[in-house]
Amino acid sequence: MHDFIGAKDVLSKDRLKELSVRSNAPGFVHLATHVAAICLNSYAIAWTWGTWWCVPFFMLQGILLNFLYATEHECDHFTAFRSRWLNILVARVAGFVIVLTNDYHRLSHYAHHRHTQDWEKDPEILSRKVFETPWDYLWVLSGLASSWGRLLLLIEQTLGRCDEWYATEPQKHTMITAARWHMTGYASIAAVAIYFESWWPLYYWIGPLALMRWTYWLQGLGEHNGLTHEPYTLLNTRTLKTNAFMHWINWNMTYHAIHHTFPSIPFYRLPEVHREVEAKLGYELPSASYLKLHWSHLKQMLKGAGERDICEAHTKSLIDSGRLPKTL
């Protein structure tokens, strides 16, 4: 594993220690606003149900729910709150809502950080096929592959099957136990809904979550896809240029290159560190808007380029610019 380019000297140990101090207050405020938005929007759905005005609120509900992934993600890094138990509790609740067990995600995500952009070891790459055509790309971007894969994973782990290569046997047992608790919870909610002849889980939760899954993948595919596969986190990870709403709902994971390089830094300090690092390096970190990024990849694939071709072209451009050494 090569040293992370820029990471060794870009922040001093004292500065990194200062930036890595956690606090409960910012996490409480961020979580409260996210939960409040979901509650208020649920009320709006109920108020407008049966009219066309319900459609935008239904779509917004799906966005708000899907981006609870950012909540689980930040808590799994134990940076959302100072209190460890609070991070675990919030991560478990968020994971239940988005059908992603906290025990599985935490270990899978840590493996992703250790092996970012490694064709053979990064779980985020191994969970899908390498893109060869625009249709491969659009299938993943639609969120349908993710939703189906997440359901199958939950069923497999509930049945006692867990083949995650990065997990020890005790960790696999923990994943299986978590999956069974999740499945028990979902079955209980379904049973209560059927008994009372209520459709609210579909109207306010599962329906919006499933139908708007694609909105998360605008972010998820944007973080690394098309960048070099060399292990330099400031260059194989992308910052997403977007609006204040998307920064907020992502818990600032839009500043993804900084997060991958310094995962101990809490979400609310990432914008500050992003500016500091770019100023010290003297150049802009890989960045793009959602639409520009995905349209660029689709255009290249329509011309016959595959995912590996696009990534290799980025590596070559970095070598030509002097940001990567010629011998890796």
**Confidence check: pLDDT of 328 > 80:** no
**Confidence check: pLDDT of 4 > 60:** no
pLDDT band at 6 (very low <50, low <70, confident <90, very high): very low
Where do the domains of the chain lie?
A: 1-20+222-328, 23-212
When the pLDDT of each residue in the chain is averaged and rounded to a whole number, the result is 93
Q: State the average pLDDT over residues 43-55.
A: 95
- Which residues, 6 or more positions from 291, have their beta carbon under 8 angstroms from its beta carbon? none
Are 219 and 238 in contact, with CB atoms under 8 Å apart? no
Q: What tens digit of pLDDT does each residue of 83-99 get?
A: 999 999 999 999 999 99
Find the helix packing angle between 24-48 and 84-97, rounded to 10°.
Answer: 20
Percent of the chain with pLDDT over 90: 88
Q: What tens digit of pLDDT does each residue of 253-285 get?
A: 999 999 999 999 999 999 999 999 999 988 889
Tell me what pLDDT residue 282 has. Answer: 87
Q: What tens digit of pLDDT does each residue of 97-127 get?
A: 999 999 999 999 999 999 999 999 999 999 9
pTM (two decimals): 0.93
Percent of the chain with pLDDT over 70: 97
Are 260 and 268 in contact, with CB atoms under 8 Å apart? no
| 3-class secondary structure, 105 | helix
More confident residue, 204 or 12: 204
pLDDT band at 7 (very low <50, low <70, confident <90, very high): low
Tell me what pLDDT residue 3 has. Answer: 40
Provide the β-strand partners of residue 290. Answer: none
**Confidence check: pLDDT of 22 > 70:** yes
